[in-house]
Amino acid sequence: MTVNDKVNILMVDDQPAKLLSYEAILGELGDNLIKAGSGREALEVLLKNDVAVVLMDVSMPELDGFEMAEIIRQHPRFQKTAIIFISAVHLTDIDRLKGYARGAVDYISVPVVPEVLRAKVSVFAELHRKTRQLEALNRGLEQRVLERTEELRQRAELLDLASEAIMVRDLQGNLKFFNTGAETLYGWKREEVIGRNIHELLQTSYPMPIQQIMDNVTQSGRWQGNLVQYSKDGREIVVASRQALKLEEHGSNAVLLEINRDITAQLHAEEALRKAERLAAMGRVAGIIAHEINNPLEAITNAFYLLRDHHSLDEQARMLANMAEEELLRVAHITRQTLSFYRESQQAVMISVARLLDDVLELQSRLLRLNAITLDKKYLTEGAILGFPSDLKQVFLNLVGNAIQAMPEGGRLRVRVANANGNGSRRFGVRVSVCDTGAGIKPEDAKRLFEPFFTTKSAKGTGLGLWISKGIVQKYEGSIRFRSLRMNGRNTTCFSVFLPGLRAADGGESTKVQEAIGSV
Amino acid sequence: MVPSKSIILCVDDEPNALMLRRLVLEKAGYSVVTAPSSAEALRILSNTPVDLVLSDQLMPGGTGTDLARQVKARHPNLPFVIISGVNELPPDSAQADLFLSKVEGPVAMCDKISGVLERFRDQNESA
């Protein structure tokens, strides 16, 4: 028996001699014996010590044993404490019942038989010892449960800290777990989705038949790949998904752990980069090809120019030479378009955008008449900016030319020049808009409109006009955009070019210009 | 028509292009001397009076702008025009008095050359 296993036995009697005799009898049990001369003293001991058995004389002055037992029992801690009464007087059965009702567990009559006393006390001491061990074991268990709970809580928190969407579902797809990352990614709240089917909820489209994925998961335990899913508000999300099968302990109820990382933005960035690289490469190729073509083109053009008027040609030969020269002009036009960066004047000069547009419209006046297009132009400013006339002329010629070609059956060409603040910034500049009532731009074409070699005019277009125009406008740190609307069966397509102009600080000049132009 | 026949030195390494350009210029009324390289052009300039140099830009023995710098060093008042198929102006394009694109066509080429000649005639007279 170790020290720790010793229990306390409290002996209560008003006669010290009796206490001594009990001590002698119980000494060999090896437990701690505590003596108390009165009920009060006994209570003090009880409050300070964990007592296994109370051995108590029934008849004591002040508080008798029964009263004492009642007080002891009222204390919640002592409700289970064993009390053995020692009675010198004969107790009736009624008395004994009264004692039991007050918490006695046993009685011993005087004269005390030492073996009987020892036996009875040791039973309760042993019981207490066992109870104590059990309690200690219980506390240990509780502590472990607490620790484990805390561990699980921390793990759950970790799951919620993860930016990935982490979900657990059964093989049919019914959700059992949905972390905070999933809530953020998909916009659904945990309580909205638990128990619902993940496939219906997220409208997942798989890169291969779902059965194939499930086969893979059941065979190897895992699968990974990209999925397209939809958030609660209908946003398309591309996720890198990892799925792992977990067999529950009892076998049949397997669950699937699905961890999804949002790669939508990453994919968009990669796509944009690829596109930019492709455009740059195409631009370089276009430039090189144009240069290689220009050299022989000049020679051929010169040859036909000389041939056209050659005295030896008959009428038919002259006609053929003329046709060849006309076709060569088209080739020259194409390569000139790719030569957008070539500038005739080497120094930027003050340009009036309005005057430039008038030049362009004059050039196109014949086509406007031929196609029965009404011109509606309004210049609210002269649009004085510093630049290269040939560049900007090319941009406007392109926009006006496109507008005219979009209206073979006639229509309305609207041209505006106005002062503007570009792109919501406070930059001062000129905005030119060219609008037509022609065929309109199909939504699927809209994205590619500014790409080189993209054309909606089949063989007639080079696919370079808008690409070059955009390049020129960007050189001016301006912007070009368009809008195509269909309303009441009629299309309106507007291209709008913003060119940064003189700052407001040196705007005195431009105000004067504005007034002069007001009457146009 | 040019009043007194101006003499143009035409430089290009491609014989066909050079010959055709020469014929176009002659048709416009100029006298034309040709050189297949920068070196030959410099040699001709040292012993022949010329009113204007019209040179290609990209040639095996040195670029048109290089040639322009050398010519200007010796004959600062001699107009120098470059005709090229390049996409971007070379960084030293200011060496020439005019940078022409090959796609502008024969008529524009003759017009612009006559413009440069006139400008230089005015300058040289007033000087």
CATH of the domain at A233: 3.30.450.20
Interface contact B99, partner A, CB < 8 A? yes
Same domain? A274 vs A247:
no
Mutate to test the interface with A, among B102, B113, B119 (most CBs of A within 10 A): B102
Same domain? A418 vs A488:
yes
User: Which of A208, A284, A39, A168 lies closest to B87 in space, CA to CA?
Assistant: A284
Question: Cβ contacts of residue A429 below 8 Å, gap of 6+?
Answer: A385, A419, A420, A421, A422, A478, A498, A499, A500, A501
Q: Is A146 part of a structural domain of the chain?
A: no
Mean pLDDT by 10 residues, chain A (520 residues): 73 89 88 88 86 86 80 80 81 77 78 86 87 87 87 78 86 88 91 89 87 85 90 91 79 81 85 71 71 87 90 90 86 68 58 89 85 92 85 87 90 92 69 92 85 74 79 86 85 91 46 32
Give chain B positions within 8 Å (CB) of A305.
24, 105-107
Same domain? A246 vs A284:
no
Q: Is A334 part of a structural domain of the chain?
A: yes
Contact A298 B17 (CB under 8 A): yes
Q: Which residue among A308, A343, A378 closes a domain?
A: A343
b/e per residue, A50-69, with b = 16+ CB within 10 A?
ebbbbbbbbebeebebbebb
β-strands A373-379, A349-352 pairing = unpaired
Interface contact A290, partner B, CB < 8 A? yes
Q: Is A148 part of a structural domain of the chain?
A: no
Same domain? A398 vs A436:
yes
Interface contact A339, partner B, CB < 8 A? yes
Burial zone of A341 (CB within 10 Å; 0-12 exposed, 13-18 middle, 19+ buried): middle
**Residue B12 pLDDT > 90:** yes
Give chain A positions within 8 Å (CB) of B83.
298
Name the residue among A301, A344, A346 with its Cβ closest to that of B94: A346
Same domain? A77 vs A54:
yes
Cβ atoms within 10 Å, residue A501: 26
Contact A303 B20 (CB under 8 A): yes
- 3-state class (DSSP) for residue B12: coil
Q: Is A147 part of a structural domain of the chain?
A: no
Amino acid found at A217? V
User: Which of A354, A415, A346 lies closest to A385 in space, CA to CA?
Assistant: A354
Same domain? A338 vs A445:
no
Amino acid found at B127? A
A355/A352 Cα distance (integer angstroms): 5
Residue A444 is predicted with a pLDDT of 83
Which secondary-structure segment (H or E) carries A297? helix A264-308
B123/A116 Cα distance (integer angstroms): 145
Name the residue among A287, A301, A335 with its Cβ closest to that of B106: A301
Amino acid found at A235? R
Helices (H), B28-94: 38-47, 64-74
% of residues, chain B, pLDDT over 90: 67
Same domain? A309 vs A402:
no
How many residue pairs from chains A and B have C-beta atoms closer than 8 A?
A: 72
Q: Which residue of B has its CA nearest to A336?
A: B103
Q: How many C-alpha atoms does B107 have within 13 Å on its Cβ side?
A: 4
Indicate the pLDDT class of residue B112, thresholds 50, 70 and 90.
Answer: very high
Q: Which residue of B has its CA nearest to A305?
A: B106
**Is the Cα torsion angle A179, A180, A183, A189 positive or negative in sign?**
positive
Same domain? A257 vs A268:
no
Q: CATH number of the domain that A305 lies in?
A: 1.10.287
Same domain? A253 vs A269:
no
Q: In what order do the strands lie in the sheet with A479-487?
A: A373-379, A411-421, A428-436, A490-500, A479-487
Q: Is A154 part of a structural domain of the chain?
A: no
Burial zone of A29 (CB within 10 Å; 0-12 exposed, 13-18 middle, 19+ buried): middle
Residue B56 is predicted with a pLDDT of 93
DSSP code string of A415-445: EEEEEEEGGGSS-EEEEEEEEE-SS---HHH
Amino acid found at B105? G
Q: Which residue among A231, A262, A293 closes a domain?
A: A262
Q: How many C-alpha atoms does A188 have within 13 Å on its Cβ side?
A: 26
Same domain? A74 vs A179:
no
User: What ipTM does the predicted assembly reach?
Assistant: 0.87
Interface contact B24, partner A, CB < 8 A? yes
Which parts of A300-437 are beta strand (E)?
349-352, 373-379, 384-387, 411-421, 428-436
In sequence order, the β-bridge partners of residue A244 are: A222, A257
Q: Which residue of B has its CA nearest to A283?
A: B87
User: Which of B34, B42, B31, B27 lies closest to B11 in space, CA to CA?
Assistant: B34
Give the range among A401-405, B2-6, B81-85 with minimum mean pLDDT. Answer: B2-6
Name the residue among A295, A303, A338 with its Cβ closest to that of B102: A295
Min Cα–Cα distance to chain B from A507, Å? 32
Q: Calculate Rg over the CA atoms of chain B.
A: 13
Interface contact A343, partner B, CB < 8 A? yes
Same domain? A291 vs A223:
no
Give chain B positions within 8 Å (CB) of A462.
none
Domain count, chain A: 4
Interface contact B110, partner A, CB < 8 A? no
Name the residue among B14, B16, B103 with its Cβ closest to that of A336: B103
**Residue B17 pLDDT > 70:** yes
Give chain B positions within 8 Å (CB) of A295.
14, 17, 85, 102
- What are the tokens at A154? 């921390």
- 3-state class (DSSP) for residue A495: strand
User: Which of A432, A367, A441 lies closest to A401 in space, CA to CA?
Assistant: A367
% of residues, chain B, pLDDT over 70: 94
Q: Which residue has the tokens 């690289």?
A: A277
Which parts of A310-387 are beta strand (E)?
349-352, 373-379, 384-387
Q: Is A473 part of a structural domain of the chain?
A: yes
A342/A394 Cα distance (integer angstroms): 11
Contact A297 B103 (CB under 8 A): yes
Give chain A positions within 8 Å (CB) of B94.
346
Is A349 within 8 Å of A386 (Cβ atoms)? yes
Contact A299 B87 (CB under 8 A): no
Contact B23 A332 (CB under 8 A): no
Q: What is the domain range of residue A353?
A: 347-518
Contact A294 B83 (CB under 8 A): no
Interface contact A294, partner B, CB < 8 A? yes
Q: Calculate Rg over the CA atoms of chain A.
A: 50
Contact A306 B23 (CB under 8 A): yes
Contact A346 B93 (CB under 8 A): yes
Q: Is A184 part of a structural domain of the chain?
A: yes
B104/A392 Cα distance (integer angstroms): 17
A415/A520 Cα distance (integer angstroms): 13
Q: Which residue among A217, A235, A262 closes a domain?
A: A262
Give chain A positions within 8 Å (CB) of B89.
341-343, 346
Q: Is A82 part of a structural domain of the chain?
A: yes
Which secondary-structure segment (H or E) carries A22? helix A16-26
Same domain? A203 vs A224:
yes
